[in-house]
Chains A and B, each alone.
Chain A
């Protein structure tokens, strides 16, 4: 039976953080009977524990809802959830590209906020029909009238029909479904054209291989077809097509133009089904892929080492498994004099790094040491050649360097106008180059800067959030490489370089950073039997210095009437406590000391 395209609605939900995106999604599932009440756990769509805890969605997850509207017709509503962090902006853009409309949630107590605006612009960029919804009307401080007026003023959306709901209690949530049907256009879809399907996400399943989430733009796909990924060229025979449901997927005979669903084809790794790629079929191949594909390259690199060297194999297995599900994660073996055997890993950004690190620790029960994140630098050597390094250890002898280049980003910060000063201060501190500033409304600005990537990978987003009380949002794209005065800082403990603590930094910032690192290490390295000089150097020149004083007393004074075992046990216990320590030559450094250096930020 042919699918009636006029009864399909493809949409996503966009909102500022904590405005109730996941809660509303849960209500929509409930109202369409997609999930029995007893199976509801809060925020069902956010599958990963980490997502639930942080209140952010990392993995987009589509779901098809069957809805019988007031006009008596059955509609297929495809809800495509979107991740909510700049590290994943590309994924967001692909999810939006799979939709015709977006529900914009605005908190009735807080009104329009930075991400409301940034997300709206993203949605408008993709020509989406936007359906405003005022949420949290159950709260005593809710002022839906004011907020509706604000949405009209600031964004220019008509809010006269905007449903005023409480996603928490479910009040008026049915209206949202009606509005989706009425306002969001059905897809323009032609089954007869050569197949072009947009991959907006993919996940690895140990039974079925990669599950590819697609939006069929034109043509159709069915089991038995040979599908081809237009960007990577990979070909597979489709095993199954179907629709994602809130719980179990529902196989179908074919997916046709305008529909959202999944494909399985015994694909071994998600890197063969990259987000943004176009799926076509060999039977009826398209000549042009859909626009907008980009291979996502890791931008941030760091070393990940097992705290216990014996866990090296386990770490490798874990990374291998994570990569099955994460095409943006890269890793290759590396060795550190200080940390032993580990991996150099590449990530989209710092959040991506933290997520991977946390998953390794939680899901694979690994104890890790990570080194300071780095970006990819281009070094022009005096012999005229150029090398790229993502690991400070490979930084060449300064005498051989003609010049260095570092990646710059084109960054937009959306913020209430009152924070302009503080944001500009932050960007200046981070070596930003001011481009321009647009007043979107008298209260809202778009501040445009060019920022070096290595200045934003550590904690830029966190600083921005804390300085603007969470109101600013931030988006960036790598634009180019620029010449820069870079130096490599080395940390020496008791005279020996600790390779894992070396990093590359702009020369103007080296002194201040060196002093902070020295202080941090001093505070975090426990006293040992002898005094430990901490030195921070550039080349052979020491630019900062601290000393960890020697411990004075660590002794079992008394022999207990020949009770040698007791003494042995006390020493064993002490040894246990040292297990988390790393040996650097003659110095023992606890992991906390690494973390402390790693987490250095502006507020220290």
Chain B
């Protein structure tokens, strides 16, 4: 796709509610009470319907969006203006949607437009899921997948985690096998990072965390296994059966526009980045988004593009910034290539899987040469 074709923005809706706080998570979320939830939905509906834009992707992220209930999801979608073939993703928690007592109805949301479900699997090994504070067992995950498939949605993404307490290459194999056999079209494999302020950061010393070497090896193991099974890496942490890449998330990495609604949601429109503060009560009472910074400059563009397997495409860069990448940039990329960290073709510069593992350094050094 080129810039001459009019690209439509994406819509991100942050749902700040969770049934509990996972010990590793520092995303913005709170326990839901019915009244707050209702006010949240009302405010979000107002905002979404007043955007005056057509979107070609919608993404419900959180938090745990399914805590809103299928009815509210459908209501918010009906307030939004999106194209017929829009990708509409809903993040779901297996215990909330695959549990025995779960009343969540995938049919309703599918009818409202949802065509992609992202499930937080994290691990197929129950002991590892437990270590992460996840309530669902593998049984609930399977139930959730079955219920989703029953509605005709085949685009399922599973989140898995690398470097979790107690994880080994063997246990990771189990998780990877599960992913492949589940028929998931998309896998997000994140390396666990102990964030400040989380429960994990307080008990860090007591956690049986795999070391840097082991985690790195497991990352390469995941890349290798998934690609062998047709689930190809397209971003540092994301894999898909070709054609099932997350169109919404690609907008972030390709420096395209998106509107973010909800507390802590970020937007990038007309070259400006702004966000709603991390407070549900402020959000409900009508606070305006806060300006963050100008965005979309060369450095940012390259920083994001290098997260993608496609890398920095020379042609796209030239179209966007009206000049070519500097020679020294390509030279240094070739040096990285000689170390097995990058790939340079006549069309693009990109990082290899090994390069992704050290992408901070690679990106810093490369963007310094712009």
Residues of A within 8 A of B (CB): 528-531, 550-565, 567-568, 570-571, 574-575, 578, 586
Given contacts A561-B266, A563-B275, A564-B295, contact A555 B252 (CB under 8 A): no
Tell whether, in the assembled complex, residue A555 and residue B61 are in contact, meaning their CB atoms are under 8 Å apart.
Answer: no
Of the candidates A551, A556, A561, A574, which one forms a contact with B260 in the assembled complex, judged by CB atoms under 8 Å apart? A561
B248-284 contacts to A (CB < 8 Å): 249, 252-253, 258, 260, 264-268, 273, 275
Given contacts A529-B341, A558-B193, A561-B265, 12 further A-B contacts (CB under 8 A): A550-B358, A552-B213, A553-B216, A553-B219, A555-B356, A555-B359, A557-B237, A560-B266, A564-B295, A565-B293, A571-B364, A575-B364
In the complex, what residue of chain A is closest to B214 when comparing beta carbons?
Answer: A552
4 closest A-B pairs by CB: A530-B339, A552-B216, A562-B266, A557-B191
**Residues on B with beta carbons closer than 8 Å to the beta carbon of A571:** 303, 360, 363-364
B344 CB-CB contact with A under 8 Å: no
In chain A, what residue has the closest Cβ to B368?
Answer: A575
Residues of chain A with a CB closer than 8 A to B252's CB: 559, 562, 564
B35: chain A residues within 8 A (beta carbon):
none
Residue ID in chain B nearest A572 by CB atoms: B364
Query: Are A554 and B190 also in contact (CB < 8 A) when A559-B253, A564-B266 are?
Result: no
Measured in the bound complex, the distance between the Cα atoms of B312 and A476 in whole Å is: 64
Q: Is B236 an interface residue when CB atoms closer than 8 A count as contact?
A: yes
B55 close to A (CB within 8 Å): no
Q: Tell me how many residues of B have a C-beta within 8 Å of chain A.
A: 49
A551 neighbours in B (Cβ, 8 Å): 358, 361
Give every chain B residue within 8 A of A553 (Cβ-Cβ): 191, 212, 215-216, 219, 357-358
Among B14, B264, B332, B358: residue with most chain A CB under 10 A:
B358
Q: Which of B12, B264, B332, B360 contacts A574 (CB 8 A)?
A: B360
Give the residue of A529, A558, A563, A578 whose beta carbon is less than 8 angstroms from that of B190. A558
A551, A552, A553 pick with most chain B CB within 10 angstroms: A553
Do A562 and B216 touch across chains, with their CB atoms under 8 A apart?
A: no
**Contact in complex: A529, B361 (CB < 8 Å):** yes
Query: Does residue B117 face the partner (Cβ distance < 8 Å to A)?
Result: no
CB proximity of B237 to chain A, nearest CB, Å: 5
CB B334 to nearest CB in A, in angstroms, measures 11
Please report the C-alpha to C-alpha distance between residue A530 and residue B352 in the assembled complex, in whole angstroms.
13
Q: How far is the CB of A500 from chain B (nearest CB, A)?
A: 21
- Give every chain A residue within 8 A of B121 (Cβ-Cβ): none
Given A552-B357, A553-B358, A565 and B364 contact (CB-CB distance below 8 Å): no
CA distance A552 to B12 in the complex (A): 33
Q: How far is the CB of B137 from chain A (nearest CB, A)?
A: 25
Task: Note all chain B residues with C-beta closer than 8 A to A570.
Answer: 360
B300 at the interface (CB under 8 A from A): yes
Query: Which A residue sits closest to B295, measured CB to CB?
Result: A564
Docked CA distance A529–B355 (Å): 8
CB-defined contacts of B260 to chain A, threshold 8 Å: 561-562
A571 and B293 alpha carbons, distance in the complex (Å): 16
Nearest chain-A residue to B162 (Cβ)?
Answer: A557
- B292 in the interface (beta carbon within 8 A): yes
When distances are taken between beta carbons in the complex, the residues of chain B under 8 Å from A574 are 360, 364
- On whether the beta carbons of A564 and B357 are closer than 8 Å, the reply is no
Q: Which residue of B lies closest to A570 (CB)?
A: B360
Q: Is the CB of A552 within 8 A of B266?
A: no
- CB 8 Å contact bits of B327-370 with A (1 = contact, 0 = none): 00000100110011100000000000001111111111000000
**Residues of B near any A CB (own CB < 8 A):** 12, 14, 27, 61, 190-191, 193, 212-213, 215-216, 219, 236-237, 249, 252-253, 258, 260, 264-268, 273, 275, 292-293, 295, 300, 303-304, 307, 332, 335-336, 339-341, 355-364
A552–B357 Cα distance when bound, in Å, is 6
Query: How far does the Cβ of B321 sit from chain A's closest Cβ, in whole Å?
Result: 17
Most buried by A among B249, B273, B360: B360
Q: Is the CB of A554 within 8 A of B266?
A: no
A568: B residues at CB distance < 8 A: 300, 303
Residues of B close to A550: CB separation below 8 A: 358
Asked if A529 and B358 sit within 8 Å, CB to CB, the answer is yes
Q: Can you list 29 A-B contacts with CB-CB less than 8 angstroms, sorted by A residue number?
A: A528-B361, A529-B341, A529-B355, A530-B339, A531-B339, A552-B212, A552-B216, A552-B358, A553-B191, A554-B357, A554-B361, A555-B358, A555-B359, A556-B193, A557-B191, A557-B236, A557-B237, A558-B190, A558-B237, A559-B252, A560-B266, A562-B12, A562-B267, A564-B273, A565-B273, A571-B360, A574-B364, A586-B332, A586-B335
Q: Do B360 and A555 have beta carbons less than 8 Å apart? A: yes
Q: In whole Å, how far is B267's beta carbon from the nearest beta carbon of chain A?
A: 7
Of A552, A562, A565, A575, most B-chain CB atoms within 10 Å? A562
Chain A residues closer than 8 Å to B14, beta-carbon distance: 561
Contact yes or no, A578 B191, CB < 8 A: no
Which residue of B has the minimal Cβ distance to A563? B266
Selected contact of B27 from candidates A557, A560, A564, CB within 8 Å:
A560
Query: In the complex, what's the smallest C-beta–C-beta distance from B7 to chain A, in angstroms?
Result: 15
Determine the residue in chain A with the shortest Cβ distance to B10.
A562
Q: How far is the CB of B261 from chain A (nearest CB, A)?
A: 11
A570 to B12, CA, bound (A): 23
Give A213 to B295 CA distance when docked, in angstroms. 64
In the bound complex, residues from chain B placing their C-beta under 8 Å from that of A565 are 266, 273, 292-293, 295
Q: Are B336 and A529 in contact (CB under 8 A)?
A: yes
Whole-angstrom distance between the Cβ of B30 and the nearest chain A Cβ? 16
What are the residues of chain A within 8 A of B266 when measuring CB–CB? 560-565
| Chain A residues positioned under 8 Å from B340 (CB to CB) | 530
CA distance A334 to B112 in the complex (A): 72
Contacts of B215 in A (CB 8 A): 553
Interface centre among B219, B303, B332, B339 (most CB of A within 10 A): B339
**Bound state CA distance, A554 and B212, in angstroms?**
9
Find chain A residues with CB under 8 A from B360 CB.
Answer: 554-556, 570-571, 574
Q: For the complex, what is the distance from the CA of A570 to the CA of B258, rounded to whole Å?
A: 22
A561 CB contacts on chain B under 8 angstroms: 12, 14, 27, 61, 260, 264-266
Within the complex, the shortest CB–CB distance from B68 to chain A, in Å, comes to 16
Partner of B300, one of A552, A554, A564: A564
Q: Please name the residue on chain A nearest to B61 by beta carbon.
A: A561
CB neighbours of A531 from chain B (8 A): 339
Question: Complex formed: what's the CA distance from A531 to B264 in Å?
Answer: 40
Tell me how far the C-beta of B312 lies from the nearest C-beta in chain A, rounded to whole angstroms: 16
**Nearest-CB distance from A558 to chain B (Å)?**
5
User: Which one of A560, A562, A567, A578 lies within 8 Å of B258 (CB-CB)?
Assistant: A562
Q: CA separation between A564 and B267, bound complex, in Å?
A: 10
Q: Which residues of A contact B307 (CB under 8 A)?
A: 559
Is A557's CB under 8 angstroms from B264's CB? no
Q: Report B245 CB to chain A, min CB distance, Å.
A: 14
Q: Which residues of A contact B249 (CB under 8 A)?
A: 559
Question: Bound complex: CA of A550 vs CA of B303, how far in Å?
Answer: 22
With both beta carbons as reference points, the residue of chain A lying nearest to B259 in the complex is identified as A562
Report the separation of the CA atoms of residues A558 and B304 in the bound assembly, to the nearest whole angstrom: 12
Q: Which residues of B contact A562 (CB under 8 A)?
A: 12, 252, 258, 260, 265-268
Complexed CA–CA distance, A560 and B252 (Å): 10
Chain A residues in 8 Å Cβ range of B253: 559
Once the chains are docked, how many angstroms separate the CA of A552 from the CA of B360? 11
A534 to B328, CA, bound (A): 25
Residues of A within 8 A of B267 (CB): 562
Cα-based distance from A575 to B362 in the complex (angstroms): 12
Q: How far is the CB of A566 from chain B (nearest CB, A)?
A: 9
Chain A residue with the shortest CB-CB distance to B189: A557
A552 to B163, alpha carbons, bound, how many Å? 14
Name the distance in Å between A585's Cβ and chain B's nearest Cβ.
Answer: 9
CA distance A554 to B293 in the complex (A): 25
A516 to B168, CA, bound (A): 38
Q: A557–B358 contact, CB under 8 A?
A: no
B118 to chain A, nearest CB (A): 12
> Is the pair B268, A564 in contact by a Cβ cutoff of 8 Å?
yes
Question: How far is A565 from B362 in the complex, measured between Cα atoms in Å?
Answer: 18
- Is B193 in contact with A557, judged by CB distance below 8 angstroms? yes
Complex partner residue of A529 from B212, B275, B293, B362, CB under 8 angstroms: B362
CB-CB under 8 A from A586, the residues of chain B are 332, 335
Q: Which residues of B contact A564 (CB under 8 A)?
A: 252, 266, 268, 273, 295, 300, 304
